[in-house]
Structure 1
Amino acid sequence: MTKGRSGWEITDDGLKATVAFVHVASLTAALANATPVPADTPLPAKPAARKPAVKKPSTKAAPRKPASKAPEGEPGVVLGDQPQSVALAGDFGTVLGALENWDPGHAGVQMVLDAHSGIWKLSAELPAGNYSYKAVANGSWDQNYGAFGFLDGANHEFTHDGGHVTFHYNHATKDVLRGA
């Protein structure tokens, strides 16, 4: 089992090991002794889908926030609540024209909302190197989202070979994905 930037992963052999070595002590001993998983060990069955918890309605009437309206010519598209701005504050700010890194107020690190998809985007040319950053909503560090969309979470980190990169921020998940 490994944990990468995109979450936890386990191989089929790792899954089989959880069947073959049911108890922690037996799994630990198998790992320490390099005991192979028996070839005839089946993959475990997938767990049944969990039903979402039913939330009891509040007795207090909460004020309703109006959802964003569908863009003109886009019937049926509702974006939901979006921040006024999203910036990628990180150690590449000066490359994008900021006077200092980690400045969420500079124009060069501001993302642009795609009104059709509801995804914020920023494209940039970055030199080769190791980088870290956070998404900052509404220009305030009070609303900063790190890896996996956690409020005040660990920095997103990545190694870049140099060249074009596009960042995609989804306010529903509060997470940022990168693409070429």
Structure 2
Amino acid sequence: MVIAPSNRTNARLRTTLALLAEHQASGSVVAPSELMAKAVADVPFDDKEAELLSGGVPRGFKALTTATSKLVKAGWLVKGRSGWTATDEGIRAVAAFPDPEQFVDAMVSGAPVPEQAEVHAPQAPEQLSEETHASSDQAPSSDAPALDAPADLVDSAAEALAASPTDSPVDSSADISWQDQPQSVALSGDFSPLFGDAGHWSTDLRELQFDWEPTENLWLQTLQLPAGTYQFKILVNGSWEENYGRFGTRDGANHELHLITDTTVTFRFDYGTKDIRTS
């Protein structure tokens, strides 16, 4: 997903990382769904964003969860089973780019984060000056008004993302949606046409790491692949100790993908079935 200019998702994305950095600095732990719920409360949905998708998740909440994958690709956020962590570079980015559009432009373009920016947790949105707060909350040019009271939608979205049985205790140290999921998932195979030698059966190439999608309970990765034949497996937790091939078989035969033209391919891995789908 390419985040368009003047998108309210941009402000929520920066706020999410800023809040995470603040919690890290204070030594407290917060679930990812709670971080995003607070970001939505700070930058309310407009009418279009408030539309409910399947599962009761507002369209704007879905956009925000998808956008967080860009933070991972930029190296500003690490998603792990125990929760999310803002990297030092991500914390510097929050300080260096107070404007949400500049923040997202730097994130997508890979622009270096100024080293001189202080590495410290930024102020929470409610602590910012009224002038700065108003700037970050400014809606894009749109006829759709912002909702004044998104609390119910925020709560329902957070519940949908972190849905758990009512008789199960909620683990405040991590998003409940991470239960029974691995620390990481990655592609490993013959991706040399795209990444050169670094893409040949790599175990740690960042561009081949999957992103966790809580609303689908799947691990996702999208690549623009040149025409050709690709063989690959799924690596779990960054090593060959746990890998899956065709039909979700552990240590099984390689998956194969045949492309007759250059194609954008989305890989979807279900850790429950250990199998993968491409589209």
TM-score by length of 2: 0.37
Using the alignment, how far apart are the partners of 2:196 and 2:221 within structure 1? 14
* Match of residue 269 from structure 2: 169
Q: Pairwise mapping of residues 26-175 of structure 1 onto structure 2 (< 5 A)?
A: 71-72=33-34, 73-76=157-160, 77-78=163-164, 79=177, 80-93=179-192, 95-96=194-195, 99-161=198-260, 162-175=262-275
- State the one-letter code of the partner of 2:254: N
Structure showing greater relative contact order (alpha-carbon pairs closer than 8 Å, 6 or more residues apart): 2
Q: Which secondary structure state, in structure 1, belongs to the residue aligned with residue 265 of structure 2?
A: strand
Q: Given that residues 234 and 245 in structure 2 are in contact (C-alpha distance below 8 angstroms), is that contact kept between their aligned partners in structure 1?
A: yes
Using the alignment, how far apart are the partners of 2:196 and 2:185 within structure 1? 17
Q: Given that residues 193 and 226 in structure 2 are in contact (C-alpha distance below 8 angstroms), is that contact kept between their aligned partners in structure 1?
A: no
**Deviation by residue 1:2-30 (Cα, 9 ceiling, x = unmatched):** xxxxxxxxxxxxxxxxxxxxxxxxxxxxx
Change (3 A) 1:98 1:110: farther
Q: Count the aligned residue pairs.
A: 111
Q: Once superposed, what is the RMSD of the aligned Cα atoms?
A: 2.0
* Match of residue 68 from structure 2: none
Q: Which secondary structure state, in structure 1, belongs to the residue aligned with residue 159 of structure 2?
A: coil
Q: Which secondary structure state, in structure 2, belongs to the residue aligned with residue 74 of structure 1?
A: helix
Change (3 A) 1:94 1:109: farther
Q: 1:71 deviation in Å?
A: 3.2
TM-score by length of 1: 0.56
Q: Given that residues 98 and 108 in structure 1 are in contact (C-alpha distance below 8 angstroms), is that contact kept between their aligned partners in structure 2?
A: no
Q: Which has the higher helix share?
A: 2
Mind listing any 5+ residue stretches in structure 2 that lack a counterpart? 1-30, 35-156, 165-176
Larger radius of gyration: 1
Q: Given that residues 186 and 235 in structure 2 are in contact (C-alpha distance below 8 angstroms), is that contact kept between their aligned partners in structure 1?
A: yes
Using the alignment, how far apart are the partners of 1:131 and 1:100 within structure 2? 11
Q: Given that residues 147 and 175 in structure 1 are in contact (C-alpha distance below 8 angstroms), is that contact kept between their aligned partners in structure 2?
A: yes
Using the alignment, how far apart are the partners of 1:107 and 1:156 within structure 2? 20
- State the one-letter code of the partner of 1:171: Y
The percent identity for this pair of structures is 39
